[in-house]
Chains A and B, each alone.
Chain A
Amino acid sequence: MIDLSDVTKRYDDFTALHDVSLHVPAGSLTALLGPSGSGKSTLLRVIAGLEAPDSGTVSIDGEDATRVPARRRGVGFVFQHYAAFKHMTVRANVAFGLKVRRRAKADVRARVDELLALVHLDGLADRYPSQLSGGQRQRMALARALAPGPRVLLLDEPFGALDAQVREELRVWLRRLHEEVHVTTVFVTHDQEEAMDVAEQVAVISEGRIQQVGTPRDLYEHPANDFVMGFIGPVTRLGDTVVRPHDVAIVDEPGPGTREALVERVAHLSFEVRVELTLDDGRDVWVQLTRAQAAELELEPGQIVWIRPSYSNAGAFQAAGSALSVAT
């Protein structure tokens, strides 16, 4: 369990965190999601004790840890660029946190073997980090962080330096690992799909402030403000309202609440069809349809149609949300 209250962090004239308060339940898997420069990594480093807040408090498992140095906080930290100890073997890397605590040799060995099996690096114990792939290095870093039995596991953009396929694999794997180990985990990411996919709770951060905290579904269906709405999933403007592009219905005749629009372009992307239109007031709007819907409407560029907001199909949020993301 982690509790942050009114944490503020300034660097010269730049305020990285403004009065941030956050509760991370024991045993949960929480994502800190935000664009780069939003303060999410700073927040993680404050929890770890790698940065000291200018004001506010950090407590871990109910104990005030604000003035406790990083090495006594009982946190495991995984860095984006692995921070592997290059001059040590995989085994020595993982054993480091146990050796500095002067644990008995036999215990260290047993614990390291157990962890290497957990992260599927059993056969690579005597390699050096430079002989591992990026994904293997990050798994080693994770085993190293878990070795001393931390109360809290913190991951700073853990998959940020990996290629797309490895990212996807490690994401699934992290979720499974969390189910097995069940340590309170916080990970930082700028990728909304990653956050929504892995985390049970997501805290959206922007400009040093927490915008909203909730389950992935909460955030998608009930965003607290335009920023969260735009960051969590695709949006388009229908007149003065911001809506999800799959919450817009296209009909072939005017009705209550409809607006006239001209079809500009129809793009068939995988399972979704993206329709770009111009409204009667000259503004652009785009709509996401399923292939079946698009086939039924038989849309052609140049065609006049009518559109209106429709929240009836809001249940389809997850599929649509993971297909497209707002550029951040």
Chain B
Amino acid sequence: MRVSRGMRLSLRTIALGYLLLLLALPVGFVFYKTFDKGLGAVWDALTSDNAISAIKLTLLMVAVAVPLNTAFGVLAALVIVRGRVRGKALLNALIDLPFAVSPVVVGLALYLLYGRQGWFGSWLLDHGIQVIFSTPGMILATVFVSLPFVVREVIPVLREIGTGQEEAAATLGASAWQTFWRITLPAIRWGVLYGVVLTTARALGEFGAVSVVSGKILGSTDTLPVYVQNRFEAFDLTGAYAASAMLALIALATLLLMTKLQPKEART
């Protein structure tokens, strides 16, 4: 299709304007407002005990949810694409549940199961384990909402590479374990990596589900997003902006890391 110069220019303006207005401007504005009161204020806001605790807890969420969901995601994708078991369709449908259900509902469901009156909650409490309003519950919520990303990224890649290389490895004497580590995993690595980045982003940023099961105890059960809301409601705008900027920075760093790791031919 031939597009005139003017047409091309206006299409470009619309696309860029859209991105600017909806993505760049709000995120940029957070950074701008963060440094409104100077670097010292930001430093103080980020190094307060409560902020540090929130950052640590957020990183803990990522550290638990990402490895768990990566291992599970690769395994589930293998079962769905390569497996010869019944119930594959059901598994495939279940995996999208965290996408379909609102995070608040997820939080509520966890509360009903693990809360003081919940099915597992009372038994666990009797054994000294508090799930709801405590770190375990927040981890559960984070794992739940960030579960589908690796699976969804890996499935199409697995389908695309087909079974040829794996069959070749088998006829060459490789065990299933050797085939997975030496053939399958290297072949799907960019899919896995992209899934990991999305999982990380989601685990960092999850608010709804975590907020329901978090005790919102400052300096103890606050993740960064929950802390942002807490600061915002306490009219501590510098604190809220600084924490937001911190969140955005961690997410950007993850994205940059992925771009760095990716080989040239995989970049588009």
Contacts and interface: CB of A to CB of B under 8 A. Distances in A.
Interface residues of B, number: 16
A148 B165 CA distance: 17
Among A75, A76, A83, the one with the most B-chain Cβ atoms within 10 Å of its Cβ is A83
Interface residues of A, number: 28
Nearest to B178: A100
Q: List the 5 closest pairs (A to B, CB-CB), nearest first.
A: A97-B172, A83-B164, A77-B171, A83-B168, A100-B174
Interface in A64-102: 69-73, 75-77, 79, 81-87, 96-97, 100-101
A118 interface: no
B165 A100 contact: no
Nearest to B166: A83
A83 B173 CA distance: 15
Among A75, A82, A96, the one with the most B-chain Cβ atoms within 10 Å of its Cβ is A96
Contacts of B186: 87
A136 B168 CA distance: 17
A144 B164 contact: no
Interface of B: 164-165, 167-175, 178, 182-183, 186-187
A85 B173 contact: no
Contact of B172 (A49, A84, A96): A96
25 contacts: A50-B170, A50-B171, A69-B170, A71-B170, A71-B172, A71-B173, A71-B174, A75-B171, A77-B171, A79-B168, A81-B164, A82-B164, A83-B164, A83-B165, A83-B168, A85-B183, A86-B165, A87-B186, A97-B174, A100-B174, A101-B173, A144-B168, A144-B172, A145-B171, A147-B172
Contact of B167 (A50, A87, A144): A50
A48 B171 contact: yes
Nearest to A86: B187
Interface of A, secondary structure class, is: loop
A49 B173 CA distance: 12
A70 B176 CA distance: 11
A79 B170 CA distance: 13
Among B164, B167, B171, B175, the one with the most A-chain Cβ atoms within 10 Å of its Cβ is B171
A156 to B, nearest CB: 10
A132 to B, nearest CB: 16
Nearest to A97: B172
A70 B169 CA distance: 10
A145 B187 contact: no
Given A49-B171, A69-B170, A82-B164, 10 more contacts: A50-B167, A50-B171, A70-B170, A70-B171, A75-B171, A76-B171, A83-B168, A84-B165, A85-B183, A144-B172
A75 B170 CA distance: 10
Nearest to A130: B265
Contacts of B175: 71, 100
Contacts of B167: 50, 70, 77, 79, 83
B176 to A, nearest CB: 9
